[in-house]
Amino acid sequence: MTHLARAGVIAICAAVAPSAVWAQQQLPIVAPDTPVYHGLFGPSPTEQELNRRLFATFFVYQASDETSLDRALADRAVEPGRFSQGAEALLSFRRQRPRLKLTATGMSGLRYYPSLGEVRAAQQAGAVDATVDMTQHLHVDFMANGSYSPNYQVMPGMPFDIPSSASIQDPWVGRQRVLDYGGAVLMRYTQTRANEWQVSGEGSQEQVVGAPEFRSASARVLFLHRLSKDFTLRLGYGQTMAQRSDLPAQTYQTIDAGVNYNRSLELSPRTTIGFTTGSAISSLPEGPQFNIIASAFVKRLLSPRWTFDAWASHTLQSIPVTPRPYLTNGVSATLGGYFTRRLAVQLTPSYSFGSDLVQGSLRFHSFAAFGRFEVALNRLWAVYVEQFYYDYGFSAGTDLSAGVPQLTRRGARVGLTMWAPVVR
């Protein structure tokens, strides 16, 4: 994957991700940067970091998608053997000044199904992210995103976003329109080189036509104290309100007491490992519940052209269609690199499973795999082949407000992509 594709994908995932009601429970994992080999297609690292730039990326493709879902519930467009042609456009804007950094992205797409004689709109999404340096010690981050989709998808318990050129957003099967929007603000005050205070708040809402809405709001205060080069003490408190509109609102408190660890191995400078720990107390109608949460990563630079990343997490995670959070275990890995400057490949498997926080017999499992092979024709044009597989299932009796309890989905694309520096 090219440097631009990765940046664009992160922006897309941020713009179209489902509402994360229990997002405060997901401990951050930030792996240190490793040297990035630059392929032929897309902007150079220097262009990517320009103080003012606007990039456009276009995709034209032929796709084949299908699902094992009961045809009575599935969209006809995902029946076995159904083919389509599609086009997508992504705009990525960046503006940086001495005290302000602003980024904005937008995406839109259409699909045509010859056998159905239909043209369908794909997902429309946008996101804005800004960082303001108020003083030398005070920094404020703002984020807002929104998306509209003509189809609703349930992707429960995926521990991390699956990188792609937006094609992983294809596992839609229900003809339920959904509007998803939210925002967040984070204030960071660096008291000394060793101490930092953070105050944050966020809110989100997911509106599914014909199904209950899902909304949340949360706030958190966090104190970070660097104990050493590798260890950081974390002490914080947060409170969250979450509600599915057909059920009473639920609140819970987070006691964020733990440590962050991040370092390179002495025996292998190309390998970096890290972990975080914490805890959460959920105030549910059935009574308070205490849970330990943790996450870890390993990042390995296999060679100047190849990298391998793996993550694992044990956390509370929301699934907007369900009434309560799930205690989730997840693992994910990414292998990516270049055979040459023109030939790039990326493989990403991900697996998770979890149980209802109150009714442990209500469980889910979720597996996804994505692969992409890209051939750069020059800096502006490339051809690609990509394929995804996705499977999930909920226990019988699970209360879902939208979507379906089980799904197996697969698809493939062959396409042409173009990158253009509109402003640089």
pLDDT of residue 95: 95
pLDDT of residue 174: 62
pLDDT of residue 288: 78
Domain extents for the chain? 3-423
- 3-state DSSP assignment of residue 330: strand
DSSP 43: -
Mean pLDDT is lowest, of 8-17, 68-77, 177-186, for 8-17
Mean pLDDT is lowest, of 25-29, 34-38, 345-349, 409-413, for 25-29
pLDDT of 183 above 80: yes
Q: What is the pLDDT of residues 217-265, one digit of tens each?
A: 999 999 999 998 888 888 888 888 888 888 888 777 777 777 777 765 6
**Contact 260/234 with Cβ under 8 angstroms?**
yes
pLDDT of residue 203: 93
pLDDT of residue 266: 53
Residue 165: pLDDT band with limits 50, 70, 90? very low
pLDDT of 75 above 90: no
Long-range contacts of 216-221 (CB under 8 A, 24+ apart): 216/19, 216/20, 216/21, 216/240, 216/241, 216/242, 216/243, 216/318, 217/241, 218/21, 218/23, 218/24, 220/24, 220/254, 220/256, 221/197
Q: What is the pLDDT of residues 42-62, one digit of tens each?
A: 988 888 889 999 999 999 998
**Contact 399/149 with Cβ under 8 angstroms?**
no
Residue 196: pLDDT band with limits 50, 70, 90? very high
Contacts of 192 (CB under 8 A, 6+ apart): none
Residue 289: pLDDT band with limits 50, 70, 90? confident
pLDDT of residue 324: 82
Q: Write out the two tokens for 156.
A: 């429960």
Measured from the Cβ of residue 49, the count of other Cβ atoms closer than 10 Å reads 11
pLDDT of 7 above 50: no
Question: What CA–CA distance (Å, rounded) separates 363 from 401?
Answer: 16
Residue 181: pLDDT band with limits 50, 70, 90? very high
pLDDT of 6 above 60: no
User: What integer best gives the mean pLDDT of the chain?
Assistant: 81
- What is the residue whose two structure tokens read 């060679």? 303
pLDDT of 334 above 50: yes
Mean pLDDT is lowest, of 178-187, 207-216, 252-261, 291-300, for 252-261
State the average pLDDT over residues 79-91.
84
**Contact 328/350 with Cβ under 8 angstroms?**
no
Buried b (16+ CB within 10 A) or exposed e, 365-374: bbbbbbbbeb
Q: What is the pLDDT of residues 346-355, one digit of tens each?
A: 999 999 999 9
Short-list 101, 194, 186, CA closest to 138: 186
Question: What CA–CA distance (Å, rounded) separates 103 from 275?
Answer: 29
State the average pLDDT over residues 279-305.
82
- What is the residue whose two structure tokens read 């603000």? 185
Kindly report the backbone phi and psi dihedral angles of residue 322, in degrees, each rounded to the nearest multiple of 5, phi listed first. Answer: -105, 155
More confident residue, 229 or 200: 200
**Contact 368/349 with Cβ under 8 angstroms?**
yes
pLDDT of 186 above 90: yes
Q: What percent of the chain has pLDDT over 70?
A: 83
Question: What CA–CA distance (Å, rounded) separates 215 from 255?
Answer: 22
End-to-end alpha carbon distance in the chain: 22
3-423 has which fold? Porin (2.40.160)
More confident residue, 294 or 65: 294
Residue 137: pLDDT band with limits 50, 70, 90? very high
